[in-house]
Amino acid sequence: MSTWRGLFQKGMYRPKAVLVGVLLRKDHNVPTLHVQGFLCSGYNRERLLDQIACDYITCLGSNLPQQCASDEFYFRPRAEAALQYLTDIDDLTPERIQDHVGYVERLLRGIPSPEESDGIEKEIDSSLLKQSMKSFIREFKEAEVWRSDPTLYVKIPLFATDQVLSQRDGSSDQTKADLSKIFRQIPSFLSLAVKNLRFPSEISLQVARDMAQDALHFYTRDLRPFMAGKIGEDQELLIKYGEVLEAWERFHKDLLRVPSRKSFAIGNDDLKGIFALSLSYPKSPDEILEVAQCAYENTQDKITALARKIDGSKTWNRIIYEGLPSVSSPAEVMRLFQEEIKRLRRFFSSQDIITFPLKEKVMVLQTPSYLQSLRATASYQAPLTGNTKAHGIFYITPGREDLELIAAHCPYLSAHETYPGHHLLDHVRIHHSNPIRRQIESPLFYEGWACYSEQLLDELGYIRHPCQQLIQLQRQLWRILRAMLDVKLHTERMSLKEAAKEIESLGFSPQRARRQARRFALTPGYQSCYFIGSYEILRLRERFSPRLDVKGFHNTLLDGGQIPFHLVEKRLQERVNENG
């Protein structure tokens, strides 16, 4: 019979409990032995790394299932174990968090050093696992996101509820049982949030209140009709539902009484820690800012030159604005995106630049109401890791404003989120044979690949009209500016008002610019991933594609998983050496 760790290797194991340490959900009589100074559950020295990876990912997946299931929590592993606990709200009591952190710290001490690794692939696994563990420790022990981020407590119950709504083929009895279980947990979870929070930033409280208001709309406008159609007027469930609405209303008011701090900036040292520990990127914030400023100036020169070529009497902003397509309704925008992804799929599956995967599927849907304050105009939601038969979702928020602008960006937004961007990359990850690389992703690689995908449209001739190419250069400026604002905002070199003015200069309305700046204040480090990730991919392509060809470069890049770029470089060099 296959062992549980053997099944983990094959992606077939669906754990019901953590088997080691203090974080057991159930009692297990597992023999233990000492390995490198900490307790392990029958560890085999020859497969120590795989065993530690399994215990770590299973631990987080079973104890923090919502954070490990949703791609919104980008510094957590996408644990397959979370599939078994989707109706459980994450336990964020201080005692349990301390247990989680201590357990991961003990596992981390047991990971073999890269010098002990057997070849480049094991070195990559070791480095990726260490990166994920150190990131978790930084987030929960050093940054204490469970004390500083009130939006965490809004996202978790919403994602749990949405998972039930997503299971359209479930029976009414199962749906009732799932919702009932989630409803029982939400009031105490929201009360815990108010107790846990310690001087979050003013802006994070404002955003959390907005999201809590969105949650109330979601529960009344979306969930209530769903319950009526799926379950009927079940009085027992309706009582719990009413208690949940009261809990959200109480939480919305309680946030007003939470003491806060004025500044949202995390400071240079903490930002450097995110780049070094969570993203495995060696450059400092100052170095990233320097690279971004240089790229911004170069891209400004390109967009100015192209605008002169199109019409020397007009600025590039004016040319883009005057060339916006005519779109009359949100429904028309949705149809536009649906047709665009069909064309992109046909185009890239016919190009000999990447091995195109089979049996993947993506749907285009309007962004759910509770996600609209959280996500951008266009976003992608991957299937849960371990659910290989599910499809990806490309969310669009067409709204009533800026319809023409959204439509003008349609080809690039679609490429970024679907083909060959996020959807294709997530499909490769979810079907990866290596369990570590299947369940750990990197925002730096993830967003870098998606931005690089946009540039392929112009390079491969999918986009030919110069006016559309202006939009791509504008998008490049936007990504680079985000990296610059990321560093400046969180090292206190720029205010939110100044950041919004910079964003307006790229053609955003004042309202959208303020909204974007506010979002950047809550995601330190992440906004740099778009530019820096694509910058690194282009740097590596310039070096290696002449010796591997473009298809060989892309396949090697994606087959390795979402790994740090210094290890991507090693892997590419090894492939070059193999080819002689």
3-state secondary structure 324-362: CCCCCCHHHHHHHHHHHHHHHHHHHHHCCCCCCCCCCCE
Question: Is it the case that residue 370 has pLDDT exceeding 80?
Answer: no
CB 282 within 8 Å of CB 222: no
CA of 27: how far to CAs of 18, 89, 100, in Å? 9, 21, 17
Note the Cα 427 to chain centre separation in Å: 14
**Among 17-26, 30-39, 374-383, which stretch is predicted with the lowest mean pLDDT?**
30-39
pLDDT confidence of residue 43 = 53
CB 166 within 8 A of CB 116: no
What integer pLDDT is reported at residue 1 of this predicted model?
34
Q: What would the two tokens of residue 487 be?
A: 């560093």
- pLDDT band at residue 45 under the 50/70/90 scheme: low
Residue 89 is classified by DSSP as: P
Residue type, 120: I
**pLDDT tens per residue, range 1-14:** 333 344 444 443 33
pLDDT above 90 coverage of the chain, percent? 80
Is 378 in contact with 394 (CB distance < 8 Å)?
A: yes
Q: Are strands 392-396 and 362-366 parallel, antiparallel or unpaired?
A: parallel
Q: Does residue 540 contact residue 572 with C-beta atoms inside 8 Å?
A: yes
> Per residue in 69-81, is it b (16+ CB within 10 Å) or e — as a string?
bbbbbbbbbbbbb
N- to C-terminal Cα distance for the chain? 42
- Sequence-distant (6+) residues with CB within 8 A of 525 are 271, 274, 275, 278, 279, 486, 490
Question: Angle at which helices 526-559 and 443-459 pack, to 10 degrees?
Answer: 70
| Nearest C-alpha neighbor of 72 from the set 389, 464, 512, 367 | 367
On whether the CB atoms of residues 224 and 241 are closer than 8 A, the answer is yes
Backbone angles phi and psi of 77, in degrees to 5: -70, 150
17 vs 403, residue with greater confidence: 403
- Label the pairing between strands 38-41 and 378-381: unpaired
**Residue 446 confidence (pLDDT) above 90:** yes
273 vs 132: CA distance, rounded Å: 13
Q: Report whether pLDDT(41) > 90.
A: no
Token code pair at residue 407: 């439509």
The β-bridge partners of 32 are 41
Task: Tell which residue, 280, 353, 291, has the closest CA to residue 568.
Answer: 280
Rounded distance, CA 444 to CA 532, Å?
Answer: 7
Reduced to 3 states (helix: H, G, I; strand: E, B; else coil), residue 34 is strand
Whats the size of the chain, residue-wise?
Answer: 580
Please give the Cα distance from 514 to 520 (Å, whole number).
10
Residue spans of alpha helices (H) in 218-329: 224-230, 235-254, 268-273, 285-310, 316-322
In sign, the C-alpha dihedral spanning 492, 444, 547, 453 is negative
Can you point out the beta strands (E) in 336-429? Answer: 362-366, 378-381, 392-396
pLDDT tens per residue, range 66-111: 999 998 898 999 999 999 999 999 999 999 999 999 999 999 999 9
The residue-averaged pLDDT of 551-580 equals: 94
φ and ψ of 38, to 5 deg: -145, 165
CB environment 289-308: b (16+ within 10 A), e (fewer): bebbeebbeebeeebeebbe
Cβ atoms of 183 and 161 closer than 8 Å: no
Average pLDDT over residues 119-145: 95
Instruction: Kindly report the average pLDDT of the chain as a whole number.
Output: 90
3-class DSSP assignment, residue 364: strand
User: For 469-526, how does the pLDDT look when each residue is reduced to its tens digit (9 = 90+)?
Assistant: 999 999 999 999 999 999 999 999 999 999 999 999 998 889 889 989 999 999 999 9
- Is the pLDDT at 252 greater than 90, yes or no? yes
Three-class secondary structure of residue 205 per DSSP: helix
